Amino acid sequence: MLRSHLRQLAPAFKRAQSLATNNVSVMLCVSFTINVDVVHLPNKLYRPTAILLTNMGGPATLDKVHSFLLNLFSDSDLMRLPLQSISSKYIARRRTPQIQDQYNQIGGGSPILHWTKKQGEMMEAILDRISPETAPHKHYIAFRYVDPLTADTVEQMKADGIKRAVVFTQYPQYSCSTTGSSLNELYRCLKTSDPENEIKWSVIDRWNTHPGFVKAVAGKINQKLAEYSPEERDDVLLLFSAHSLPMSVVNRGDPYPAEVAASVDRVMNYLQFKNPHRLVWQSQVGPSAWLGPQTGEAIKKYGEQGKKNIVVVPIAFTSDHIETLFELDIEYGKEAHEAGVTGFKRSESLNDDPVFAEAMADIVKAHLESGKITTPLMSLRCPSCTNDYCGEQKEFFANQKL
């Protein structure tokens, strides 16, 4: 009884705690008045529901570019290279100056940690309000290739006494190369850091058609379309752009291309299909075949076909990163200009959009209420998967007892 009262009061405790300094007593007035020394409140009674935001991360400063690339090229869940432990070092070293130059042009580093922290804080505050039964909520961040790395965050969660955690992938659409890689890494870290499985996990593995996400993306598109004159507006071409995948990954049966297409369809449906649109793919790396058409090529060709007004819409990443700020804005912006696309614009990333923060909170609330561990899709491996970790990881999460 007391425990359930305290859970209801948890958001207030948390707010009071953030205001209070050590050993300050805080008076809380609800239907009854209690005197609580916030600092000494028994941890067990207001243990947070942890929400682990997972993503690849990006180098916050130029000196972190090399270790970011090294971790990325060493990730065998993302790509398999011959003699990977050696070749990854060679490729990372060779690629570092070029990528450093790109980060330099967008202000000296990736803003992804900044935005993820902000999104986490906004989501947390909304969740404490709309889901008092599971409050307080505390977000953690686990990046795959830069700080805060998954292993360190898991240690922190253990030290904080977390017993219930939700993995919340920050990729709306599931790819084994992104969300799959983060889950495999988390599974490996937990084997060493939490062998007794003291933290009980569930997973939000995809949310590509969530109405709040769809509304937030559509809102950003409408904001951009409003910058065109009313005569031009309905003819503006919407080019939805997502990071491409190697064809070997597509043919293995990766769900990502279909899930990105579903997101595009929902957004266009929300916009009542007023504008012409296409889905195109960006950022291919290396000489192998990747899913197309490529974004840069499509902009050029549409320019040649006489299209003057194009809005590019990032659909597979929720905050700004090198692909929006450098590739879309700087690189393709220049190419568009050369191809005669005089009205070239990009719709803004979701970043700290309040509609998106509401969507994030709603996704978590619905997940917690469902009592489910994952979506039914997550247990299904790609038809041509040969990665043993995928199987082990899926079994580990599917067998969690909440």
Ligand X SMILES: C=CC1=C(C)c2cc3[nH]c(cc4nc(cc5[nH]c(cc1n2)c(C)c5CCC(=O)O)C(CCC(=O)O)=C4C)c(C)c3C=C
Under the criterion CB under 6 A, does residue 141 sit at the interface with ligand FES? no
> Least distance to ligand FES from the beta carbon of 149, Å?
22
Q: Which residues in the 104-133 window bind ligand X by CB under 6 A?
A: 110, 112
Which region among 30-38, 64-72, 344-352, 381-389 touches ligand FES (by CB under 6 A)? 381-389
- By rule CB under 6 A, what string of x and - marks binding of each residue 281-300 to ligand X? ----x---------------
Which region among 151-159, 267-275, 320-328, 338-346 touches ligand X (by CB under 6 A)? 320-328
Which region among 156-164, 175-183, 194-202, 205-213 touches ligand X (by CB under 6 A)? 175-183
Q: Which residues in the 179-208 window bind ligand FES by CB under 6 A?
A: 180
Which amino acid appears at position 251 of this protein?
Answer: N
Name the residue number minimizing CB distance to ligand X: 58
> Least distance to ligand FES from the beta carbon of 178, Å?
11
Do you find a cis peptide bond into 59, omega within 30 degrees of 0?
no
Binding residue (CB under 6 A) for ligand FES from 41, 381, 392, 396: 381
> Least distance to ligand X from the beta carbon of 320, Å?
8
Give 149's DSSP letter: B
Q: Tell me whether residue 285 or residue 366 sits nearer to ligand X (CB atom).
A: 285
Residue 49's alpha-carbon distances to 15, 144, 161, in angstroms, are 16, 22, 11
The token pair that represents 272 in the structure block: 């009542």
Site size toward ligand FES (CB under 6 A) is: 9
Mind giving me the DSSP string for 152-206?
A: HHHHHHHHTT--EEEEEES-SS--TTTHHHHHHHHHHHHHHH-TT--SEEEEE--
Say how far apart CA 72 and CA 57 lie, in whole Å. Answer: 10
Which amino acid appears at position 60 of this protein?
Answer: A
The verdict on whether 321 is a catalytic residue reads no
Q: Tell me whether residue 288 or residue 305 sits nearer to ligand X (CB atom).
A: 288
Under the criterion CB under 6 A, does residue 387 sit at the interface with ligand FES? yes
Q: Tell me whether residue 48 or residue 246 sits nearer to ligand X (CB atom).
A: 246
Give 325's DSSP letter: I
Q: Tell me whether residue 19 or residue 377 sits nearer to ligand FES (CB atom).
A: 377
CB 68 within 8 A of CB 78: no
Under the criterion CB under 6 A, does residue 250 sit at the interface with ligand FES? no
Environment class of 125 (CB within 10 Å of its CB; exposed 0-12, middle 13-18, buried 19+): middle
> Least distance to ligand FES from the beta carbon of 175, Å?
8
Binding residue (CB under 6 A) for ligand X from 48, 180, 246, 255: 246
Say how far apart CA 14 and CA 30 lie, in whole Å. Answer: 15
Q: Which does 171 bind (CB under 5 to 8 A by kind): ligand X, ligand FES, none?
A: ligand X
User: Which one is catalytic: 128, 329, 353, 362?
Assistant: 362
Q: Residue 137: enclosing H or E segment and its boundaries?
A: strand 137-143
Environment class of 378 (CB within 10 Å of its CB; exposed 0-12, middle 13-18, buried 19+): buried
Which region among 15-23, 53-61, 145-153, 385-393 touches ligand FES (by CB under 6 A)? 385-393
Q: What is the 3-state secondary structure (H, E, C) of 179-190?
A: HHHHHHHHHHHH
The verdict on whether 210 is a catalytic residue reads yes
Residue 246's alpha-carbon distances to 78, 318, 380, in angstroms, are 10, 22, 21
Under the criterion CB under 6 A, does residue 157 sit at the interface with ligand X? no
User: Which one is catalytic: 210, 243, 277, 321?
Assistant: 210
| Residues contacting 117, CB < 8 A, separation 6+ | 141
- The single residue listed with the structure tokens 């109405």 is 211
Under the criterion CB under 6 A, does residue 204 sit at the interface with ligand X? no
Under the criterion CB under 6 A, does residue 317 sit at the interface with ligand X? yes
Residue 328's alpha-carbon distances to 48, 191, 272, in angstroms, are 39, 40, 26
CA angle (350 as vertex; 348, 353 as ends), nearest 5: 110
> Least distance to ligand X from the beta carbon of 245, Å?
5
Catalytic (active-site) positions? 210, 362
- For binding to ligand FES (CB under 6 A), which residues are involved? 176, 180, 252, 254, 381-382, 385, 387, 390
- For binding to ligand X (CB under 6 A), which residues are involved? 56, 58, 72, 78-79, 95, 99, 110, 112, 171, 175, 177-178, 243, 245-246, 249, 256, 285, 316-317, 321-323
